[in-house]
């Protein structure tokens, strides 16, 4: 018996609906149909009156969630694809994110963003939006990379009184499996995790890139390199302490992200480590991102657009050559 990453997301929502009457789900095709990815399969039947199909109105979906949160409910909004949240951008960053600072009244709302690339998905069904939302004060941005984190971090997100952007990776939905969900959540929101201990260099990654980084690290064992991989788990807040303590052990840093290269999470990690841990570095910190183009459609192009175990190995060899 195994459970997939998307099963964990469904189970977390079932748990939340069963245990917290304030929770309801609102999103496109999520009721009878169970969602474009089946993350809400059967939930409308199991929890009548708690799971709603929305019109194709991302702006109004988040506006509705803000209003419902003001009234004390805990909406979970499913964006069909993270890319479409651009339509809801105003309500997320100006309405939801500013509300607590302006009024003193928090907005406990969770927005699920099916994120990242899969083969053949093309420019508008592949984007990674985490850095855009992390830029704005007033939002918590989570990027679970494991089955257990997908489950526990979604529950933690809904329990939080503040708005959470929950970035779930579409590539991990059915590819990533675990024997079981860990019964207890070992780490709170805002804490990173050492996904693979090592000593020669630190790779900081998140979401699907954690798995690509681990593959790259496994390949470099044959060359005698022992690479540490840090899974950020949470983009904002960013657990810079765990990153710095890893860099203190290894002296080398490569930050890997699937998002576009300008600014973003990897730039933030490099910036923080450079200013707060410059003395820990034995080599210039490096970063590896997607290419600075829209995400391409064809699998051949897509595979060369995002970081892969090959490109991560290549970057690590450069980093280790200093």
Partner 1 sequence: MVRGRFVENKLSSFYKAGKIVGGVYLGRGQEAVSASLACALQPGKDVFAPSIRDQAGRDAFGEPMIDCFRTYLGSVLGPMRGRDGNIHRGRPDLGMPAMISHLGAQVAVVAGMLFAKRQKGILADAVGATCIGDGSTSTGAFHEGINLAAMEKLPMVIVVVNNQFAYSTPNTRQFACRDLVEKAAGYGMRGHAVDGTDFLATASVIAHAVAQARQGNGPQFVVAELLRLGGHGEHDDASYIPEAVRGSHLGRDCIQVAEEQLIAQGVFTSDEIQAIYQETNDEILRVTAQVQQEPVPDPYQDDWSALSTPHLQPLPHQA
Q: Least distance to partner 1 from the beta carbon of 43, Å?
A: 15
Q: Least distance to partner 1 from the beta carbon of 223, Å?
A: 34
**Percentage helix, strand, coil, to 5, in the chain?**
45, 15, 40
**Peptide bond before 317: cis, by omega within 30 degrees of 0?**
no
Q: Least distance to partner 1 from the beta carbon of 73, Å?
A: 5
Please tell me whether residue 48 binds partner 1 under the rule CB under 8 A: no
Please tell me whether residue 223 binds partner 1 under the rule CB under 8 A: no
Using only the alpha carbons of the chain, give its radius of gyration.
19
Q: From its phi and psi, is residue 145 left (phi > 0), alpha (psi between -120 and 50) or beta?
A: alpha
Please tell me whether residue 71 binds partner 1 under the rule CB under 8 A: yes
SS3 at position 2: coil
Nearer to partner 1, 18 or 304 (CB): 18
Site string for partner 1, 146-185 (x = CB under 8 A): --------------xxx-----------------------
Judged by CB under 8 A, which stretch of 54-62, 207-215, 245-253, 289-297 contacts partner 1? 54-62
- Pick from 6, 7, 8, 24 the residue near partner 1 by CB under 8 A: 24
For 190, the token pair is 């805002």
- Pick from 9, 16, 25, 62 the residue near partner 1 by CB under 8 A: 62
- Residue 125 annotated in active site: yes
Angle at 75 between CA 139 and CA 190, to 5 degrees: 35
Residue given tokens 């109105």 in the structure block: 57
CA atoms within 13 A on the CB side of 230: 30
Residue given tokens 């970063």 in the structure block: 287
Nearer to partner 1, 61 or 290 (CB): 61
Nearer to partner 1, 2 or 275 (CB): 275
The residue from 125, 152, 200, 305 that is catalytic is 125
Q: Least distance to partner 1 from the beta carbon of 289, Å?
A: 20
Contact, 315 vs 205, CB < 8 A? no
Contact, 50 vs 188, CB < 8 A? no
Contact, 88 vs 61, CB < 8 A? yes
Nearer to partner 1, 75 or 307 (CB): 75
Site string for partner 1, 271-290 (x = CB under 8 A): xx--xx--------------
Nearer to partner 1, 32 or 180 (CB): 32
Distance CA 140, CA 124 (A): 24
φ, ψ of residue 142 to 5 degrees: the values are -115, 145
198, 167, 315: which is closest to 254 by C-alpha? 315
Q: Which residues bind partner 1 (CB under 8 A)?
A: 24, 49, 54-55, 57-73, 75, 87, 90-91, 94-95, 97-106, 137-138, 140, 160-162, 189-190, 236-238, 271-272, 275-276
Task: Tell me which residues are annotated as active site.
Answer: 125
């Amino acid at each position: 018996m195994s459970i997939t990453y998307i099963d964990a997301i469904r189970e977390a929502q079932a748990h939340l609906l069963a245990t917290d009457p304030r929770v309801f789900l609102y999103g496109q095709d999520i009721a009878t149909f169970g969602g474009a990815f089946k993350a809400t399969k059967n939930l409308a039947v199991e929890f009548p009156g708690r799971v709603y199909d929305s019109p194709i109105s991302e702006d109004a979906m988040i506006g509705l969630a803000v209003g419902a949160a003001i009234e004390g409910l805990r909406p979970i909004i499913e964006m069909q694809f993270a890319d479409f949240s651009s339509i809801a951008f105003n309500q997320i960053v100006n309405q939801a994110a500013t509300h607590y600072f302006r009024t003193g009244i928090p907005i406990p709302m969770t927005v699920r963003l099916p994120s990242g690339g899969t083969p053949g998905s093309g420019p508008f069904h592949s984007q990674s939006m985490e850095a855009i939302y992390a830029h704005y004060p007033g939002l918590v941005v989570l990027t679970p990379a494991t089955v257990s984190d997908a489950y526990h971090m979604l529950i933690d997100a809904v329990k939080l009184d503040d708005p959470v952007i929950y970035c779930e990776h579409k590539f991990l939905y059915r590819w990533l499996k675990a024997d079981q969900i860990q019964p207890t959540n070992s780490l709170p929101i805002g804490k990173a995790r050492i996904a693979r201990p090592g000593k020669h260099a630190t790779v900081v990654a998140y979401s699907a890139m954690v798995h690509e980084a681990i593959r790259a690290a496994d390949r470099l064992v044959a060359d005698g390199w022992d690479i540490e991989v840090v899974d950020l788990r949470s983009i904002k807040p960013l657990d810079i302490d765990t990153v710095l303590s890893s860099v203190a052990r290894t002296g080398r840093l490569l930050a890997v992200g699937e998002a576009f290269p300008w600014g973003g999470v990897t730039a933030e990690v490099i910036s923080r480590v450079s200013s707060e841990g410059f003395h820990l570095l034995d080599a210039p910190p490096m970063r590896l991102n997607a290419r600075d183009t829209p995400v391409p459609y064809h699998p051949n192009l897509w595979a060369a657009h995002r970081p892969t175990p090959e490109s991560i190995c290549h970057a690590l060899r450069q980093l280790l050559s200093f």
